[in-house]
Amino acid sequence: MRQTKAGRRRSPRSAAAKPASGGRFGKFGGRYVPETLMAALDELTRIYEAAIADRAFRSELNDLLRTYSGRPTPLSDTPRLSDKVGCRVLLKREDLNHTGAHKINNTLGQVLLARRMGKRRIIAETGAGQHGVATATACARFGLECVVYMGEEDMARQGLNVYRMRVLGATVVPVSSGTRTLKDATNEALRDWVTNVTTTHYVIGSVVGPDPFPRIVRDFQSVIGSEARSQMLERVGALPAAVVACVGGGSNAMGIFSGFIPDASVRLVGVEAAGEGMATGRHAASLGAGRPGVLHGSLSYVLQSDDGQVMPAHSVSAGLDYPGVGPEHAHLKDSGRVAYVTATDREALDAFHALARLEGILPALESSHAIAWVMGARWRAKDTVLINLSGRGDKDVAHVAGLTGARV
Amino acid sequence: MVRAEGRAALIPYLTAGYPTLDASRDALRMVAEAGADFIEVGIPFSDPLADGPVIQRSSQVALDAGMTVRKALDMIRDLLLPVPVIVFSYLNPVMAYGVERFTADARAAGVSGLLLTDVPAGEDTAIEQTVRKGGLDLIRLIAPTTVDRRLAEVVKGASGFLYLISRLGVTGARTTIDAGADRMIARVRAATTLPVAVGFGLATAEQARAVARIADGVVVGSALVERLGQGIESARALMVELRAAVVR
């Protein structure tokens, strides 16, 4: 039944669950921000809705994705990994995008929106630096001023990406407040936006933040899911049994899931970072162990103390090291459409090495969590599993070497 | 507010638990004695995205010393301050405590109003109704970016007074006040009869004097918190100057 329906061409947008009303996904989402930002969020909503309905905008973005970022990204079969897992495993190769991750899908789209709004100053937050690099890249391409907020601790861990952003012409501002990581970089970017809102667009990097950001980022990332769905039908002739993606804020996962949400036969699995183990409390599993709360402008699951203070997250992968998660994921968890599971630092590192040795692909440590979970789960021989390989692992090589005591 | 006295109300802000629990109690008593008309008590949050560096730091110091929502309400209740108290905070700690329970306990502690900086008007009507039903004034922010159509919506459900953000940006002392402030106040007055207090960025007696000429209330936060970091006498001296300045 699904198979016959599956062959029909659908617009990518219809596949994604739109927020019902007031920018909410069920009870989650919303706009929990200072009054100063409300006008800018209204303006962004208006401009965004007009843009995606505009054929010229879509065609310009698609053209950039094709000729600048290198889309469509391929699906790769993994014969040796598949042998080990016990069923056919395919990878959606977002690592082959320009700048090495899915982040550019969103930054190109948002920079085009900024241009439509006449805003020539762009700000962004970044954790590992991938979103910062993708934003700096899009700004360079369009000649816009770019300021990236980054926690001091992350700057020390990701020196190479800091330098890449500077080479691309961006200003990287160190953030020394709080935990000096992604959470605090996001606070600082929001403070900048409150101050410079009339001249500046905030290119948020994940499906988080106040409405309309979670749906804008999801829609710009939904190209992953719509491509992957047609590629599956073309290559395999059927939809996958499961689609698996890592979840920090959750943009790569929302991107690929959005293509499959209406396909009830497809199991959707989001893998959060269990860090040193769920029992240790040192993890980043907001959906697995958090409670509903408000962080960075929306209601979602948040790692927090009994007294409502946000707790520091932990993961070997800086991109998953975030105590919140996108509000649509919170809704998909509560509705049961997506299963959220975890993988530890150790499991992710093992998967990083496994994919390198078995397939000649270095996965980002973020994506390694998804691979790790698939390697540890039970499958039937006839299953086909699709993993979103959200980024490449070159950025992590020095970090992994350090952890294993190797010299580079 | 205190229009009858021919002056503007002085509304100091202090972070609960800063610099220590005891010193925070003393500071609240001090500002009441030094002529505060209302006191804004900030219940600290780990991620205060509407606040500048001074209040961020005071919040972190207070949290590190163990300040909680419960302790802040107990402190307010035990002090029996002779002036009305407005709680200034963010939604998450209040939500974790329970909005209904918070409203009841705050009321019982003598709190008269609540300002949640990340709950803009109309965004969460269930929370707003709970706060109002519980008998607290719902203090709302108005920003320079609030357009007229939205302004009408904001003033509709507000009570107590309206809090006008004097310029774009986070909290924190600045040296000038926005030239557009009087035009903004005129816009607000055209939309409501509620008193209008002005804050965000006011630091000196000179600024307070200028704002007192056009507004009903003057809120001073970061500058006072910074002085308190140097000692209570330094903070008292600023309060005395400000109190003299709000006379029209």
The identity of residue A406, as a single letter, is A
Which one of B67, B73, B97, B118 makes the best mutation probe of the A interface by having the most chain A beta carbons within 10 Å? B118
DSSP B78-98: HHT-SS-EEEEE-HHHHHHH-
Phi, psi of A244 (to 5 degrees): -125, 135
DSSP A104-124: HHHHHHHHHHHHHHT--EEEE
Check B95 against A194: CB less than 8 A apart.
no
Chain B residues with CB under 8 Å of A30 CB are 123-124
Helices (H), A53-118: 55-67, 79-85, 103-117
**A30 CB near a chain B CB, below 8 Å?**
yes
Nearest-Å Rg of the Cα atoms of chain B is: 16
Q: What is the pLDDT of residue A18?
A: 58
Beta carbons within 8 Å of B206's beta carbon, 6+ residues apart: B245
- Nearest CA to A339 among A245, A208, A228? A245
> What CA–CA distances, in Å, run from B11 to A254, B32, B41?
46, 10, 10
Residue of A nearest to B143 (CA): A36
d(CA A180, CA A153): 5
Cβ atoms of A247 and A206 closer than 8 Å: no
**Could you say which residues of chain A have pLDDT below 50?**
1-17, 20
- Nearest CA to A134 among A259, A319, A316, A297? A319
B46-102: per-residue pLDDT in tens? 999 999 999 999 999 999 999 999 999 999 999 999 999 999 999 999 999 999 999
Nearest to A39 among B46, B56, B147 (CB): B147
Cβ atoms of A367 and A396 closer than 8 Å: no
Nearest to A307 among B96, B141, B145 (CB): B96
Q: What is the pLDDT of residue A252?
A: 98
Two structure tokens written together for A314: 């932990």
Phi, psi of A91 (to 5 degrees): -115, 130
Nearest to B97 among A177, A296, A308 (CB): A308
Domain B9-245 fold is TIM Barrel (3.20.20)
pTM of structure? 0.94
Q: What is the pLDDT of residue B3?
A: 64
Two structure tokens written together for B15: 């972070």
**B169 CB near a chain A CB, below 8 Å?**
yes
**A177 CB near a chain B CB, below 8 Å?**
yes
Residue of A nearest to B154 (CA): A35
Across the A:B interface, residue pairs with CB atoms under 8 Å apart total 123
d(CA B135, CA B139): 12
Q: Count Cβ atoms within 10 A of the Cβ of residue A120 and give its class: 0-12 exposed, 13-18 middle, 19 or more buried.
A: middle
Check B96 against A35: CB less than 8 A apart.
no
Chain B residues with CB under 8 Å of A302 CB are 92
Place of tokens 């704002």: B211
Check A187 against B53: CB less than 8 A apart.
no
SS3 content of chain A, % helix, strand, coil (to 5): 50, 20, 35
Q: What is the pLDDT of residue B175?
A: 66
- Across the beta sheet with B137-138, what order do the strands follow? B137-138, B111-116, B85-89, B39-42, B9-15, B217-220, B196-199, B162-165, B140-142
Average pLDDT over all residues of chain B: 94
Phi, psi of A251 (to 5 degrees): -75, -40
**B124 CB near a chain A CB, below 8 Å?**
yes
Two structure tokens written together for B193: 């009869």
**A190 CB near a chain B CB, below 8 Å?**
yes
**A34 CB near a chain B CB, below 8 Å?**
yes
Two structure tokens written together for B176: 């000038």
B142-172: per-residue pLDDT in tens? 999 999 999 999 999 899 999 999 887 887 7
Q: What is the pLDDT of residue A8?
A: 42
Cβ atoms of B103 and B135 closer than 8 Å: yes
DSSP 8-class letter at A310: B
ipTM: 0.95
